[in-house]
Chain A
């Protein structure tokens, strides 16, 4: 098993500026944001990582450098799994889309744009996907409030009742 993965990692090390870590048996590759399309293409075409299972982001607010990590999970349909991490700085970062390599990144990146506000350059259809079109803000950012509403208990139920916007017929 390790052969395929280690040859892929070896080749990546030679061609791109990457850092390889492992945590709990999972291989994590730190990639620079300008290399991501090249890394994905090489992994897909040369090393058989043919499926992008997942793409998501993590927000490290209030830390600014890097504020975000984009996480890619690639699988080879056999046993090998690989995680790519792309650090991004600043509040409204952007990086190029991997839609050209893995078409299913389309929705995944739309979701990241919707929930995190990270722009993907050259994306074919960067609209909000989950939240309503006129929604303000990006809910999964750490500086976005949870939107918790006070729960009604016996002691405060009447007070909440008076300001709750009950619907009329």
Chain B
């Protein structure tokens, strides 16, 4: 039996209006098990009729303790945890972690690995946007888009599986390069996908962009002004939907993004529809980046030659004693990083994904902190939902594209 606790309003007094205390407005619990909260998000809504007066998010239902767990593992072991944070952007998570480790220990990455990293993260971005498109339109009662979007996502997962053996949790990017080189048919598979997707995106647009039902439910809903977006630290498509062209790939390029030619899609309106348009356009831009990257994909090694941080290839172990020692040391003890902290951020499908990594000279990270975009973006939900109907709240939550694993860490 659940023990019932004496409930006092004091705890909530500063959050809800006076009218709720008097019983004029209604307090309604939404979640953590609700089909449209995209995971285990709980909202406490104060409703006036059907209008949202106030919305108090309650998070933490998926708090995994990743940061604490990573402190107890060495740098290579801790990487496994990164995938499971934002499970729609697994490649991007490992990328930012590896970039941070590389920056902390001052480790270079060969050019071929850089380009493959870009291809994979952009593929993952498309996959993430497809999941977003599917689930968002499912929330707004467009079932067929969900089925189409997941059909295309399977192609991307097939490519990820081809290179890493896993559909989602790839852990393919490693500090100093990649786990191993991509298979021979990787290039063909990606090229085929790049050719296949544009007409499919047009199909989604045909279903949604001018659909009056979709327009009615998205236009003018959840408007976020550019000023508010910056003040609340919102990044990613949500910020660009409000007219601010901020993209980490452009301002602080990493992994050689400066050599690709792509645009940052921006919409002025700042409503749910603008965010939809930005994401659709971002998929096209990602395809542009992927095809440019395929054109310049160089030959060469995919792992750094620095044996102090990157284990030697299998073939060397049998013939070189030194390689054997390095292999043994790296897989038992790991490598140690100098004392000091670095902050690296990349552009994830949801916004600026950063990791703060602090070493203390031992093989284990002293402190890992994840700056996750969903956490900051979700914070603006009360701001966006005020004055809208509960049905619109569903569209607003969907349009913020939160991943609860990313929010709670």
Interface, chain A (partner B; CB < 8 A): 23-24, 26, 28, 50-54, 56, 58-59, 71, 73, 77-79, 81, 83, 102-104, 106-107, 124-125, 127-132, 139-140, 146-148
B106 (CB) vs chain A CBs: closest residue: A24
Which residues of B lie under 8 Å from residue A128 when comparing CB positions?
60
Q: Indicate if the CB atoms of B251 and A125 lie closer than 8 Å.
A: no
27 CB contacts below 8 A, A to B, read A24-B103, A24-B106, A24-B342, A50-B231, A51-B230, A53-B235, A54-B343, A54-B354, A54-B356, A56-B356, A58-B341, A58-B358, A71-B341, A71-B369, A73-B354, A77-B230, A77-B246, A78-B251, A79-B252, A83-B343, A104-B232, A104-B379, A107-B376, A125-B14, A130-B63, A131-B63, A139-B68
B200 to chain A, nearest CB (A): 34
CA–CA, A139 to B11, complex, Å?
A: 23
Interface, chain B (partner A; CB < 8 A): 11, 14-15, 59-60, 63, 65, 67-69, 72, 103-104, 106, 230-233, 235, 244, 246, 251-252, 340-343, 345, 352, 354, 356, 358, 366-367, 369, 371, 375-376, 379, 408
What 8 new A-B contacts, CB under 8 Å, besides A50-B231, A103-B232?
A: A24-B103, A53-B352, A53-B376, A79-B252, A104-B376, A106-B379, A127-B11, A129-B60
CA–CA, A53 to B408, complex, Å?
A: 16
Q: Indicate if the CB atoms of A104 and B342 lie closer than 8 Å.
A: no
Q: Is the interface of A mostly helix, strand, loop or mixed?
A: loop
Which residues of A lie under 8 Å from residue B345 when comparing CB positions?
53
Known: A71-B341, A130-B63, A140-B68. A77 touches B375 (CB 8 A): no
B383 (CB) vs chain A CBs: closest residue: A103
Q: Indicate if the CB atoms of A79 and B68 lie closer than 8 Å.
A: no
A16 to chain B, nearest CB (A): 21
CA–CA, A116 to B94, complex, Å?
A: 26
Q: Indicate if the CB atoms of B354 and A58 lie closer than 8 Å.
A: no
Which of B103, B230, B341: most chain A CB closer than 10 A?
B341
Which residues of A lie under 8 Å from residue B106 when comparing CB positions?
24
A101 to chain B, nearest CB (A): 9
Which residues of A lie under 8 Å from residue B354 when comparing CB positions?
53-54, 73
Q: Indicate if the CB atoms of B356 and A104 lie closer than 8 Å.
A: no
A105 (CB) vs chain B CBs: closest residue: B233
A31 to chain B, nearest CB (A): 15
CA–CA, A94 to B59, complex, Å?
A: 24
Known: A58-B358, A73-B371, A146-B68. A26 touches B233 (CB 8 A): no
A83 (CB) vs chain B CBs: closest residue: B343
CA–CA, A79 to B254, complex, Å?
A: 12
Q: Indicate if the CB atoms of A104 and B233 lie closer than 8 Å.
A: yes
